């Protein structure tokens, strides 16, 4: 089984990641597009990606550009959130 070469543990499942990305319409390799842009109509895909990331213990950076909110989920099992009011 080939690995992505980014992991620090033996639990990488590249086939699962590739298939999951394809189900969301992404066919590029993860190394070419290590991000996902969700629009308000993509709520189910967004939720699915968050769940997959937390279950796989990935580092997740979630940014809501409209409201200046962000969240970070660490592979070390902690989370941080921020909120900044929009400038007038």
Mind listing the pLDDT tens digit for each residue in 16-30?
Answer: 888 888 888 888 887
Average pLDDT, the chain: 78
Number of C-beta neighbours around residue 38 at 10 A: 16
Structure confidence at residue 5 as a pLDDT band (50, 70, 90): low
Q: Residue 1's Cα: distance from chain center in Å?
A: 23
Query: Which residues lie closer than 8 Å to 10 by C-beta, 6 or more apart?
Result: none
Query: Which residues lie closer than 8 Å to 17 by C-beta, 6 or more apart?
Result: 4, 30
Strand 69-73 and strand 60-64: the pairing is antiparallel
């Amino acid at each position: 089984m080939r690995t992505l070469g980014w992991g620090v543990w033996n639990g990488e499942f590249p086939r699962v990641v590739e298939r999951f990305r394809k189900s969301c319409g992404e066919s590029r390799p993860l190394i070419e597009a290590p991000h996902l842009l969700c629009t308000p109509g993509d709520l189910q895909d967004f939720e699915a990606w968050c769940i997959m990331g937390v279950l796989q213990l990935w580092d997740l950076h979630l940014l809501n550009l409209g409201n200046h909110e962000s969240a970070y989920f660490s592979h070390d099992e902690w989370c941080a959130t921020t909120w900044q009011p929009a400038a007038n």
